[in-house]
Structure 1
Amino acid sequence: MATESQPHHGGLLVHPLANPQAPGICPEMLEVAEEANRAGDFSLAVEIYSTQLAELQQPDRGLCLRRADSLSRAGRISEALDSYCTAANLAKLRPDELRLLVESIARTLREKELRSGSGGKDGTEMDAEGFDEEPLDVFCCHLCRCLLHEPATLECGHTFCRLCLRDVKDCRHCNITLGNEAYGGLRINVVLSGLLEKWFEAESQARKHWVKAESLWKKLQYTDALEHFNKAVELAPSSGRLLFRRAELHMEMSSYGQAVQDSTSLCRSKPLSPKAHHMKASALSKAGRNDEALQEYFLCVALKPDWTKVKLEAQKVLSELFSSVFEREDMPAPLLHPLQGGSASRLVKPLALLSSLSPLTPRTGAKDSELSVSKAPPAGSTSCQHLLPLSPGGGDHPGGGGGEEASSKSLQSVLAALPTPPGGQKRRHSGEETSRSKISRADDSSQEPTAGNNCGRTVPSQLLDSGDMECSLCMRLFYEPVATPCGHTFCLKCLERCLDHNPNCPLCKENLAEYLATRGYNKTMLMEEVLHRYLGDELAERKKIHEEEMKELSNLNLEVPIFVCTMAFPTIPCPLHVFEPRYRLMIRRSMETGTKQFGMCIADDLKGFADYGCMLEVRDVKFFPDGRSVVDTIGVSRFKVLSHGQRDGYNTAKIEYLEDKKAEGEELVQLLRLHDSVYEQASSWFTALQDDMKNQILSHFGLLPPKDHEPQALPSGPAWYWWLLAVLPLESRAQLTILAMTSLKDRLVAIRRVLIFVTRKRPR
């Protein structure tokens, strides 16, 4: 009796012998055969097993299986099938005993496809990609891989279907955590939604029906769900995922015939999709058409060799198929196998094994393309007459009476009649179909793309209108478009200017305080891509205008932004609390242009601001949730105002920068003496201050800077001088007078007088 255990050697199943002590079996030769298998010399192993079998009085099932496995590994499928048939006549084949046969047939199919040149582009690699691996175009959601439906734009700028984001915590593109962007709080991007519905009307409607069908399916409302699936397929008939989902619904509804039809259409449009062939195989198996299901299982394994689940299913179906065609009670005993001169025609051959050896690309025969459930035999039937094995000429055998004649043929003669893949009529048919498909694609290129044509989905030129992509604030083409949490889109700069004045959406008036607090102004990537792709010239012109504006704003001589507030001095920090909308805009522009500078002047009743001031450079900006900000600046240089102006609500000026006149010779010697004397006087004054006043000065301005060895090295003189001018109790007008001086000597004389005055006034 055969034991259940089947050890493996070198990846090859070692089947137990029915009677190890049977006369004629040489254990040493069997060991040599197993060693040959391990070494990859399968032909030698086959020869040894054949010799051992020929010496037996009765066929040994285990030995037949060993021979069959070696033949399978050697690629001699025809002979292997004969040996498996002999073993099947002795006892039912278990699924695990057919692993090597399934893998070998699948490998043969794959190799035939490569040799025929219909695999990879270079003829050496076949891509087993299906509709789940299609490249995504710009209009696809990267979660469901379909046309965007109710697009929602996240704060990071990436867009997905709103429904797809329901259970997602991180952005698929940038891996940023979505935070508070819960599904219920997400809004549809109004502009993108309108554009998609206009550009891809049929496909958008199909997506709506699809989404509705999925919702009904979850509620177990199968009939209503199927109705919406049908409407969706009518609108987008070439959508592979849509057909696949409807086939799955048919399977759940036990409508296996309809599932076969959908999966057949899917396999025709996606011949290299393992999922498509697996769906068809499952549907055929459920419909009782195991012989046809087996062919699809072989294709699955050929396309995806490491798909273990499908291998096991194929082995199970193959085992059932062998069992269904061998009716042991109708066969006379004893049964002689062909190697002993018995009639091979007495063995019923499962023709599905033969027809499954066709290449992977779909055939162009009318009967094959019209395969439907109506041609299937009743459930449970084992008849192979409805199968269409290939004839020597590459055509199809008709069903009906010819099936009985085919069943009586020997396995070798039927396999020999199969056409070879590299040439012949079958190869020409494949080429003709390729040519026809190319012509069809060319004819359809002007039509609106559908969900199945993701790689080629383009916007029809007649539907392109730049007016659909204009900012409602500036009435110009979007530049750096951003989407608000409420779903509206604006130019980045336009939105920021509006939020400077009011934390509400300019269109729907929804409060955007939280959005303003996060400063999450990221460009909408999809809108940016659409503008670049379809309105490139208009966008280039829009960008040119923006760059000219930025260039004009960055000219710190012709039009300098002026902050009218307080006195500022070179090298001295000047922290600012910015809350007015005009100054928010001014600070932001100084950062955008890259200058990070603006002028500071005190107010003037007649001119608006004084004729002298100090340029400040922004070191850091801290924003508050309500839009206010604290700007850390430091003085860099003095200037004189040549003319006053305004821009977008804030003051501007044409200026010239001030520099001290250089002293030389004896004048320089006197300047250095005066410089050292005034510094010592200033140091003594500061040291003599009361502790509370001294601490207050230190907290705002820091320590008195050290004395400069070269007081004329900086255009505005030594830093300690401006520190002293900032902390002395002088009125702004007096400070302004000193700021305007271009003689360091005059400034030192002026500050010495002030020091003498404040020293005399000091309380004793």
Structure 2
Amino acid sequence: MKNYQQALHDADALCQNKPLWPKGHYVKAQALSGLGRTEEALKEFLYCVALNPEWSLMKKEAQKIMCEMFFPAFENVHDSLTAPFSSRTRLKPAFLSSLNTVEDGSAAGCSEDTVFRLTKALSQEPDVLRSTNSSLSHNVLDLHFEDNKKSLGTILSSLPGPRLKRKLSSDLTDLQSLDVPNKIPKKDGDTVLENSATSALREIPAVLVDASDFECSLCMRLFYEPVTTPCGHTFCLKCLERCLDHNPYCPLCKEKLSEFLASRTYKKTILTEELIVRYLPEELSERKKVYEEEMKELSNLNEDVPIFVCTMAFPTIPCPLHVFEPRYRLMIRRCMETGTKQFGMCLADELKGFADYGCMLEIRDVKFFPDGRSVVDTVGVRRFKVLNHGQRDGYNTANIEYLEDKKVEGAEYEELVHLHDSVYDQAVAWFTSLKDNMKAQILNHFGSMPGKESEPQSNPSGPAWYWWLLAVLPLENRAQLAILAMTSLKDRLIAIRRVLIFVTRKRPR
């Protein structure tokens, strides 16, 4: 009856009830074709081919429409029809001449074999159409070929059957990257027309975008700060860095990434990030919330504080470190990412793992090497006492409380000042009496001895010269640890005076 509008309505209902029935899509395709909606009709014909590869009639219908759309008879296209035909492929004469055309009115100069191979490949991978939906037909139709773009003939001929899904995906990426101008000039170049239909056709429905398509293969979560390696694999920045802590190879294809690691040019993949922002805003918000919670937890300098188990460290005293273990690479990086730039330093303990007292270090600078190692320049900040021992991702952590000296007043304060001045003079005399080569070694490693402070109790950890002297004196680590744990400046001064007396008496003559 040629009542195409009513036929389309009935066919839509039929396709909803029986989405995998080829006959329903065939009726819908005929109705769309009758209404002049050629692009949509092509999509339905291709559905039919995908659902029933043996239906030869559908292949012919699809071939006919594809040839009419992709390879229009150029001599029949008038210059005055530029705007109406802007949604179709505009092929250059040089491109047309390179094709092996056949004199067939139905094919309009198209190679039947080329189109048949495309439909045959589509029939072998039916889920391609379902995953791309209208983007397949729309993006192909909206091409505006330029001299430096890949020709359609090359794209069609490069689609092998077994690898269609991956190949088609990459080729569609190339096709979508070709910009279709919204303003298409006429032949004389004087008038410019708006083509809003083109923009609408290129829009991808949000329902077709699945969050699992943007999932990191390492953390199995939505990409956050996506980074693509030279071998073409994308991961979250933090996930990739953790893998490179252990070995310089791609986690998926095992390609060597030594140069990538050495340069550390971790530039975010803008396209992937923009797609996530545009089509998955809710999922991205949740992912960002999880990341911020993790950073907040890592920023706490009282609970689960990262602990570097190595040597003794003291307030105000520099402590350069050579970091090469993967767990400590991660720890240092997290300290930098959170912005705290601090971690604890403790001595090793056979029973507990690390000692009950330590010193917080602040990172002043980090120098990375091509193999992933780094030299970290730190300085002591505050003393602390360990309340609970723990672990996180391989490195040690602890709940801590900070230590401060108990302040004294009155007569006790005057006695403290007198003791402070006396021990300082004794320390200067001892250091001055050392041999030149030994003094040079001390100065090269620890720097000059800090001057005497007018107010001994101005710093919660005591005067800086005291910690410099404690680091320089030839004491065992356990003895140094005992002095570090003291919260009385008077007791520490008495202890260091005893050490000075001992080393002075034992000095070789």
Instruction: Settle same-fold status: TM greater than 0.5.
Output: yes
State the shift of 1:761 in Å.
Answer: 1.2
2:451 is the counterpart of 1:737: no
Residues 613-633 of structure 1: per-residue CA shift (max 9 Å, x gap): 000000111000010000010
Pairing 1:486–2:421 present: no
1:641 and 2:386 correspond: yes
Q: Comparing 543-552 with 738-747, which one deviates more in the overlay?
A: 543-552
Change over 3 Å in CA distance of 1:213–1:552 after alignment to 2: closer
The 1:201/1:744 distance shift into structure 2, 3 A limit, reads same
Q: How does 1:404-553 map to 2 (within 5 A)?
A: 441=197, 452-453=198-199, 457-553=202-298
Query: Do the aligned partners of 1:561 and 1:651 also contact (CA within 8 Å) in 2?
Result: yes
Residue in 2 that maps onto 1:703: 448
TM-score by length of 2: 0.67
Which digits, 9 at most, give the CA deviation of each residue in 1:306-327, with x for residues without a partner?
xxxxxxxxxxxxxxxxxxxxxx
Distance 1:242 1:696, change over 3 A: closer
Deviations 1:155-176 (A, max 9, x none): xxxxxxxxxxxxxxxxxxxxxx
1:53-90 Cα deviation digits (max 9, x unpaired)? xxxxxxxxxxxxxxxxxxxxxxxxxxxxxxxxxxxxxx
Pairwise CA distance, 1:762: 1.1
Match of 1:631 in 2: 376
**Whole-Å separation in 2 of the counterparts to 1:734 and 1:488:** 53
SS in 1 for 2:255: coil
Counterpart of 1:748, as a letter, is L
Instruction: Decide whether aligned partners of structure 1 residues 679 and 559 sit closer, same or farther in structure 2, where only a CA change above 3 A counts.
Output: same
Q: CA RMSD in A?
A: 3.5
User: Structure 1 residues 206 and 630 mapped into 2: Cα distance closer, same or farther (>3 Å)?
Assistant: farther
CA apart distance, 1:462: 3.2
8 A Cα contact 2:138 2:202, kept in partner: no
Q: Distance in 2 between matches of 1:243 and 1:518?
A: 33
Q: 1:566 to 1:756 in 2, by over 3 A?
A: same
Compute the displacement of 1:243 (Å). Answer: 12
Which residue does the alignment assign to 1:758?
503
Partner of 1:692: 437
- Give the match's secondary structure for 1:611: strand
Looking at both structures, which has the greater relative contact order when contacts are Cα pairs under 8 Å and sequence separation is at least 6?
1
Cα distance change, pair 206–683 in 1 and its aligned pair in 2 (3 A): farther
User: Does residue 658 of structure 1 match 2:418?
Assistant: no
Distance in 1 between the 2:325 and 2:409 partners?
Answer: 47
Distance between the aligned counterparts of 1:240 and 1:669, measured in 2?
82
* Distance in 2 (alpha carbons) for counterparts of 1:711 and 1:705: 13
CA deviation after TM superposition for structure 1 residue 202, in Å: 3.6
Residue correspondence of structure 1 range 257-656 to structure 2 within 5 A: 273-274=184-185, 276-277=186-187, 296=188, 300=189, 302-303=190-191, 441=197, 452-453=198-199, 457-656=202-401
| Counterpart code for 2:481 | L
Q: What is the Cα deviation at residue 227 of structure 1?
A: 9.4
Residue identity over aligned pairs, in percent, reads 68
Letter in 1 for 2:484: L
For residues 102-128 of structure 1, give each alpha carbon's deviation from its aligned partner in whole angstroms, at most 9, with x where no partner exists: xxxxxxxxxxxxxxxxxxxxxxxxxxx
Secondary structure (helix, strand or coil) at the match of 1:610 reads: strand
SS for the counterpart of 2:462 is: coil
Structure 1 residue 242: Cα displacement? 8.6
Describe the shift of the 1:679–1:459 C-alpha distance in structure 2 as closer, same or farther (beyond 3 A).
same
Tell me how far apart the structure 2 counterparts of residues 226 and 656 of structure 1 sit (CA, whole Å): 66
Task: State the one-letter code of the partner of 2:229.
Answer: T
Distance (whole Å) between structure 1 residues aligned to residue 327 and residue 319 of structure 2? 19
Pair 714,273 (structure 1): closer, same or farther in 2 beyond 3 Å: same
CA pair 204-579 structure 1, distance change in 2 beyond 3 A: farther
* CA 1:534–1:663: 2 relative to 1, 3 Å: same
1:558 deviates by 1.3
Letter in 2 for 1:749: I
Higher strand share: 2
The change in CA–CA distance for 1:660 and 1:225 in structure 2 (over 3 A counts) is: closer
In structure 1, stretches of 5+ residues that fail to align are 1-129, 135-193, 218-223, 229-234, 245-268, 278-295, 304-359, 362-433, 442-451
Residues 111-190 of structure 1: pairs in structure 2 closer than 5 A = none
Report 1:246-257 matches (<5 A). none
Cα 1:532–1:759 shift into 2, 3 Å: same
The CA deviation at 1:461 is 2.6
Asked whether the equivalents of residues 139 and 201 of structure 2 are also in contact (C-alpha less than 8 Å), the reply is: no
How far apart, in 2, do the equivalents of 1:213 and 1:595 lie? 50
Residue by residue, what CA displacement relative to the aligned partner does 1:148-195 show, whole Å, maximum 9, x if unpaired?
Answer: xxxxxxxxxxxxxxxxxxxxxxxxxxxxxxxxxxxxxxxxxxxxxx99
- Contact 1:573 1:635 (8 Å CA) reproduced: yes
Distance 2:332 2:280 in 1: 32
Give the CA deviation at 1:457: 3.0
Report how far residue 226 of structure 1 moved: 12
Instruction: Provide the C-alpha distance between the structure 1 equivalents of 2:178 and 2:217, rounded to a whole number of angstroms.
Output: 37
Q: How many positions carry a matched residue from both structures? A: 369
Distance 1:707-1:534 versus aligned 2 partners, 3 A rule = same
Match of 1:602, SS?
strand
Shift in Å, 1:595? 0.6
Q: Check whether the contact 1:213–1:225 (CA below 8 A) recurs between aligned residues.
A: no
Per the normalisation by structure 1, the TM-score is 0.45
- For 1:493 and 1:243, locate their aligned partners in 2 and report how far apart those are by CA, in whole Å: 33
Q: Relative to 1, partners in 2 of residues 1:627 and 1:202: Cα closer, same or farther, differing over 3 Å?
A: farther
Q: Is the 8 A contact 2:144 2:179 kept in 1?
A: no
Structure of larger gyration radius: 1
Q: Is the 8 A contact 1:214 1:225 kept in 2?
A: no
Which residue type is aligned with residue 396 of structure 2? N
Residue identity in the other structure for 1:602: L
- The CA deviation string for residues 623-661 of structure 1, in whole angstroms up to 9 with x for no partner, is 000100000100000000001000110000000000000
The letter of the residue matching 1:741 is M
Q: Which amino acid aligns with 1:534?
A: Y
Letter in 1 for 2:505: R
Tell me how far 1:214 sits from its aligned partner: 5.5
- For residue 459 of structure 1, report the CA deviation from its aligned partner: 2.1
Counterparts of 1:585 and 1:243 in 2: how far apart (Å)? 42
Q: Deviations over 1:711-751 (max 9, x none)?
A: 10000000000000001110100000000000000000000
- 1:719 lines up with 2:458 in the alignment: no
Distance 1:227 1:508, change over 3 A: closer
For structure 2, list consecutive stretches of 5 or more residues without a partner in the other structure: 1-81, 87-127, 158-170
Query: Do the aligned residues in 1 keep the contact of 2:144 with 2:178 (CA within 8 Å)?
Result: no
C-alpha distance in 2 between matches for 1:604 and 1:642: 15
Deviations 1:581-631 (A, max 9, x none): 000111111111111100000000000000000000001110000100000
SS in 2 for 1:753: helix
CA contact (8 A) 1:571 1:636 kept: yes
**Secondary structure in 1 matching 2:452:** coil
Contact 2:299–2:338 (Cα < 8 Å) also in 1: yes
The answer as to 2:136 corresponding to 1:201 is yes
